[in-house]
Structure 1
């Protein structure tokens, strides 16, 4: 965990405390963490409790206690102490322990990895024009918000679209039509320039949704035949193929009689096993970092009503997965016996597959196990 990661973790804890009404104070734009000074406790320290004590009308020590319990449960944080008048001091897990915690969280939470309760208690009404891209975007935003604990209704500005059957096939759900009677959040995007029926005929539901959601709302979506190309140049294919490949690795390992197990920490040496471990560490780091960042990306996508952020995250995970797979194959070759290194590689590959499937699900797109 980097200082930037820790800063985001503490900021997330502040937001959770405010959302849960445990703390009544404005959420700062950022939280500063610093290396502990010589003689201090832990690896890093933070004065956010002192900063929030006045606005919250609470002693700094009480604010620190509220935040401590929320930060201590986060992966990568080994220990949180309260020192002095209300400083938070953090001792981080060793990198291998932090990585194991992330992979264990993915395994335990499955497709729900990255879902949370940061928006619990929020009740929102999304409102959109009678246009297919606006409707699909609102649907994806609803999925992201619900995954973070919000209650959401979606309304459309005009009566049901004559192409309503096409909306249904695209997985779009609308709760009400006409002008809403409550405060709303309007979902706007550059129109698709085609109807749902036309997009379905040309692309099918999955490619159509990806094309509508991949671009930021202020950009024109790419909705050409390139979305159907089964090759590396097509990001949707690459994401779905990475997921399918990860699932195939699990099936292949079962045939060889072994299962996954996250890597233990090891000090590199001249032994063949430690050389493989060092190679794993170098190749795995980008993918591990992306998987660890996934919950934050989902929350940001929900807060900013930006499903395109999730799509780009999935593309990055797929790219890092293939780089890792090519550098450190999870399955033994030839007469090679399965080893601890193969089990560790498989654990990471499986976690990547789970993140890809979960992200696609939030975008309303299927993740086939075979392509």
Structure 2
């Protein structure tokens, strides 16, 4: 029995009690939930429904809990229901009801854990969006791992998600990039405000090879070629490196297109219609202070140039015009001050910032070797890049390590730890269970053991304490996925998988799945093989949500 099924039974029992006592059914929620008690002695699952409803219907919570318990205990599959404290319901399942979960998981396969919790939501999820002036640095790699995992979680819970990379190919940073390429091609040092690193020389050489005429042009014409060709080469490299990291976007959006298509003018006109624009000292201003910003923001300077914030406004409007109900933007640790102005901008468009715009801030990441931060890239010169991280610990370990922690916490990635083939390496610990469950299945086939027909499965045989613990852990997966999506916290999946791995190891150490020697294959072996394969399913599903492989051999 899944926790969701049990929750439905609790709610059905409440409906029966309300009918019997003539209580108002409108006080009942549409859904409820059950949770695993921290202390296993308190039962398999707990419900607080009686506490939630007692004030609404004017009954003491323990009295209402008693009525619910009397109704629930008559339900097939429920072994006992105890009332604890002020009105908690502690529920125990019989072995057959608990064991049925193994079959349900195996039959559901990749669908187990998915739900329609967020169905009807249409979200645009923008992440990484590194400037095309250098390789993706380790902070951007964190958003690549977390953002991609979050997109998978949102889709697994029914949301309609469009992932997007905003390509800043306009503005002063691109001019500095082009000047740096030109200087490198001429054998000159990088401009004082320019970009360094071996990658600048590589790109400059590639542009000169593709466009040999650039060497004969004056600096202004040559710089324009380096701008166009260099940005294209850098973006191709960024896309390629992210793809090798397992991250690809539905949309790659160029900032330059906003300018070329006149979308900044359209955004300005929309904001004027809303009455949020004023002119002062030759510049065009947006009244963001009307919605809590610390100062009004310039959209167009007195010299006619657009500001970065004007492009932000146009880009936000473009997303909303494409039909996205909620715009979710992931930003780095240095962007906290950005939140207020963006929320105010959304309000200036007439949107509700609490509904239509969500900004997530990620903290810093350090790569550590021998206890010391790795500060310089061989290629980028000043930062650690995606390539450096993958070279150091591999794609799976990098994605798992970056997604394993709450994104609002700084993290150190210890190269020695994440390359170790031991249980203290979290990704190895989880992937080892994926491999072990696959190995058990292969060895079972070798000795003639198969699960048999689903109708012949005997779930009541899964009565060992460690089997029950593993079943309860497996049953938590859908709720973990839903909460991770709703709270935007993929790390919940990683931590859950580690707990599940521990539960499987304890099961494996105490409950023999395969027959020994000439021992006859029994229904218990088959039941345990169902449980083994259910674990493989959940581990694989969870790792997939993090973009990490579930190996069959290690």
TM-score (norm 2): 0.50
CA–CA distance in 2 between the matches of 1:236 and 1:97?
33
Aligned residue in 2 for 1:337: 520
SS of corresponding position for 1:156: strand
Q: Retained in 1: the 8 A contact 2:145–2:546? A: no
Aligned ranges 1:55-66 → 2 under 5 Å: none
CA–CA distance in 2 between the matches of 1:322 and 1:39?
34
Aligned residue in 2 for 1:142: 151
1:168/1:126 CA distance change after superposition, 3 Å = same
Displacement of 1:246 after TM fit?
A: 0.6
Displacement of 1:128 after TM fit?
A: 2.8
Aligned ranges 1:1-371 → 2 under 5 Å: 6=6, 32-33=49-50, 35-37=65-67, 41-43=71-73, 94-129=93-128, 130=130, 131-159=140-168, 160=235, 163-174=238-249, 175-177=251-253, 178=255, 179-181=315-317, 182=320, 183-187=326-330, 188-193=361-366, 194-225=384-415, 226-260=417-451, 262-265=457-460, 280-371=463-554
SS of corresponding position for 2:460: coil
1:26/1:3 CA distance change after superposition, 3 Å = closer
Q: Retained in 2: the 8 A contact 1:35–1:43? A: no
Rg: which structure is higher? Answer: 2
Displacement of 1:264 after TM fit?
A: 3.7
Q: Retained in 2: the 8 A contact 1:128–1:155? A: yes
SS of corresponding position for 1:370: coil
CA–CA distance in 1 between the matches of 2:68 and 2:471?
31
Displacement of 1:77 after TM fit?
A: 8.2
CA–CA distance in 1 between the matches of 2:466 and 2:145?
37
1:125/1:258 CA distance change after superposition, 3 Å = same
1:76/1:162 CA distance change after superposition, 3 Å = farther
Q: Retained in 1: the 8 A contact 2:125–2:328? A: yes
The alignment covers a number of residue pairs equal to: 306
1:316/1:230 CA distance change after superposition, 3 Å = same
Structure 1: tracts of 5 or more residues without a match:
12-22, 45-71, 79-89, 267-276
Q: Retained in 1: the 8 A contact 2:98–2:459? A: no
Q: Residue by residue, what CA displacement relative to the aligned partner does 1:254-296 show, whole Å, maximum 9, x if unpaired? A: 1111213654436xxxxxxxxxx6xx52111221111011011
Aligned residue in 1 for 2:338: none
Q: Retained in 2: the 8 A contact 1:214–1:308? A: yes
CA–CA distance in 1 between the matches of 2:395 and 2:163?
20
SS of corresponding position for 2:72: coil
CA–CA distance in 1 between the matches of 2:242 and 2:538?
27
CA–CA distance in 1 between the matches of 2:441 and 2:2?
31
Q: Residue by residue, what CA displacement relative to the aligned partner does 1:157-179 show, whole Å, maximum 9, x if unpaired? A: 54358633221111112323354
Aligned residue in 2 for 1:53: none
Displacement of 1:35 after TM fit?
A: 3.5
Q: Residue by residue, what CA displacement relative to the aligned partner does 1:1-28 show, whole Å, maximum 9, x if unpaired? A: 79999559879xxxxxxxxxxx9x9989
Displacement of 1:351 after TM fit?
A: 0.7
1:298/1:4 CA distance change after superposition, 3 Å = closer
Q: Retained in 2: the 8 A contact 1:7–1:32? A: no
CA–CA distance in 1 between the matches of 2:10 and 2:111?
22
Q: Retained in 2: the 8 A contact 1:166–1:200? A: no
Displacement of 1:314 after TM fit?
A: 0.7
Aligned residue in 2 for 1:16: none
1:38/1:127 CA distance change after superposition, 3 Å = closer
TM-score (norm 1): 0.72
1:42/1:322 CA distance change after superposition, 3 Å = closer
Displacement of 1:101 after TM fit?
A: 3.0
CA–CA distance in 2 between the matches of 1:161 and 1:224?
30
SS of corresponding position for 2:365: coil
Displacement of 1:154 after TM fit?
A: 2.2
SS of corresponding position for 2:162: strand
SS of corresponding position for 1:154: strand
Displacement of 1:250 after TM fit?
A: 1.0
1:189/1:27 CA distance change after superposition, 3 Å = farther
